[in-house]
Amino acid sequence: MTNESTREQGRTEQQLRDDLAQKLIEFGAARSPGVVTAFRNVRRHLATPEVDMARTYDAEFAAITKTDEHGVDISSVSAPRVQAMQMEQADLAPGMTVLEIGSGGPNAANLAEVVGENGHVVTVDIDPEVTDRATRFLKATGYQNVTVLTADAEHGAPEHAPFDRIIVTVQAADIPPEWTAQLKDGGRLVVPLRMRGLTRTVALVRDGDRLVSDGVELCGFVPMQGLGENRVRLAVLHDVEGEEVGLRLDGHPEPDTDALAKALITPPNKAWSGVTLGGSESNEHLDMWLTTELDNLPLLAAKPGARQRGLVASASPLGIPTLVDGDSFAYRTVRATDEDDRYELGAIGHGPHGQQLAERLVEEIRTWDRDHRGDRAHIEVYPAGTPDDRLPADGRRIERRHSRVTITWP
């Protein structure tokens, strides 16, 4: 390759990085100078040489690097937008010591850029293939203030603790006590926490033995492996290939799948709330409200073919909150309004009690709109075994092996 070709490639690569940084600023994902500079500097495409270079600098592109024997994604390089969002939630500063749980390479490099030469990043993953890839990437890109560990991150990295920040890049259903113990008091843990099926990346500040939320964002991550693995289970209601419909269960009561499968093919019952959303307005806080208030609310997952056939009105890869009661269910939906780019929230029910369940969902949608539309859920995490009188008196409690998670609203 000639020197001129080399210079041309360098200009193209730098332009891709600059364009990515600008896009992250426009999205509001990257706000601080350190985070913006990190994305301008890190050569993230070297972590996934099998992927087209320009694709790796797409703000929304997550590169899947490994799947299990069932085809489930178990390792990835997260999308730049999500990485930037978590970095901003962490409130990083030069000189900090940071633990990253779930390695990929580029995110550790981003963190190393922000904490600088006087800071240190420890990145840990259970899979040696993943850590080997991360090690090669960090060597190729010259980041020397990063330590790569192959271990079950359930135990953190005690030999490198305490940490100013811990950033988890895999979905977690629980908070192991080691994570809290290895975090400095006042330090921040940023974790994609799954709560009754819904995953949100939560910034938690350590206050003694409890963690208190200071920011909640929508996200999607591959699940935790090892001792902390606790995957959602799918209860199948319709299993025709390409039209599959099921309920994602995360501590929810065992459903009567036969009765619900029969309900699925009955005529729908609809109820509308009069509450509208703009086309670009997220329903993530509404869904968190619904899962806080309603007891049996798993997520309805459906393939696009099920929607095309008319079995369901909505199909979301993340799942749709669905109220279940015995032989009937109702799920959240929307319809267009006369106003441009606005949609009315409602519910569709199936089964003998489908209409009542749809109206119950609509009632909670109206309550959210009236009392909590501008609010965000407040999340606290306490050690398992914490007495009830130390927990917030109202809201939703989620019991895990290591922790008691509470969700409350202003």
Encode the chain (410 residues) as per-residue pLDDT tens digits. 344 444 445 558 999 999 999 999 999 999 999 999 999 999 999 999 889 999 999 998 877 654 555 444 444 578 899 999 999 999 999 999 999 999 889 999 999 999 999 999 999 999 999 999 999 999 999 999 999 999 999 999 999 999 999 999 988 999 999 999 999 999 999 999 999 988 899 999 999 999 999 988 876 544 444 444 446 788 999 999 999 999 999 888 999 999 999 999 999 999 999 999 987 788 889 999 999 999 999 999 999 999 999 999 987 767 899 999 999 999 999 999 988 889 999 999 999 999 999 999 999 999 999 999 989 999 999 999 999 999 998 889 999 999 999 999 98
- For 255, what's the count of Cα atoms within 13 Å in the CB-facing half-sphere? 31
On whether residue 174 sits in a domain, the answer given is yes
On whether residue 249 sits in a domain, the answer given is yes
Catalytic residue among 75, 76, 78, 213: 78
Return d(Cα 209, Cα 255) in angstroms, integer.
36
Residue 78 a catalytic site member: yes
On whether residue 410 sits in a domain, the answer given is no
Q: Given 208, 228, 248, which residue is the final one in a domain?
A: 228
On whether residue 395 sits in a domain, the answer given is no
Q: Are residues 175 and 294 in the same domain?
A: no
On whether residue 62 sits in a domain, the answer given is yes
Q: Are residues 116 and 173 in the same domain?
A: yes
309 burial (CB, 10 Å; 0-12 / 13-18 / 19+) is middle
On whether residue 405 sits in a domain, the answer given is no
Q: Domain count of the chain?
A: 2
DSSP 287-330: HHHHHHH-SS--EEEE-HHHHHHTS-S---TT-EEEEEETTEEE
Q: What are the φ and ψ backbone dihedral angles of 233, each rounded to 5 degrees? A: -105, 145
The answer to whether residues 198 and 291 touch, using CB atoms and an 8 Å cutoff, is: yes
β-bridge pairing 183-195 and 163-168: parallel
Strand partners, 204: 189, 213
Residues 6 or more apart whose Cβ sits within 8 Å of residue 112: 119, 121, 143, 145, 146
- For 318, what's the count of Cα atoms within 13 Å in the CB-facing half-sphere? 14
Q: Are residues 361 and 290 in the same domain?
A: yes
On whether residue 107 sits in a domain, the answer given is yes
* Whole-structure pTM value: 0.85
CATH number of the domain to which 45 belongs: 3.40.50.150
Q: Are residues 221 and 247 in the same domain?
A: no
> In terms of Cα–Cα distance, which of 199, 344, 167, 409 is closest to 284?
199
Q: Are residues 189 and 316 in the same domain?
A: no
Amino acid at 396: R
Amino acid at 293: E
Return d(Cα 349, Cα 329) in angstroms, integer.
6
Q: Are residues 242 and 145 in the same domain?
A: no
> In terms of Cα–Cα distance, which of 12, 33, 15, 227 is closest to 126?
227
Q: What pLDDT shows up at residue 359? A: 98
Q: Are residues 344 and 360 in the same domain?
A: yes
Question: Residue 190 in 3-state DSSP?
Answer: strand
Q: What pLDDT shows up at residue 205? A: 98
By residue range, what is the domain housing residue 332? 233-372
Return d(Cα 249, Cα 297) in angstroms, integer.
9
Q: Are residues 124 and 238 in the same domain?
A: no
> In the structure encoding, which two tokens stand for residue 57, read together?
């600098």
Amino acid at 407: I
Q: Are residues 116 and 29 in the same domain?
A: yes
Q: Are residues 199 and 298 in the same domain?
A: no
Q: What pLDDT shows up at residue 7? A: 45
Question: Residue 183 in 3-state DSSP?
Answer: strand
Chain centroid, CA 242 distance in Å? 25
Residues 6 or more apart whose Cβ sits within 8 Å of residue 127: 66, 74, 75, 150, 225
On whether residue 292 sits in a domain, the answer given is yes
CA angle 211–213–215, rounded 5-degree value: 150
Q: Are residues 156 and 243 in the same domain?
A: no
Q: Are residues 157 and 272 in the same domain?
A: no
Q: Given 172, 198, 228, which residue is the final one in a domain?
A: 228
Secondary structure letter of residue 112 according to DSSP: H
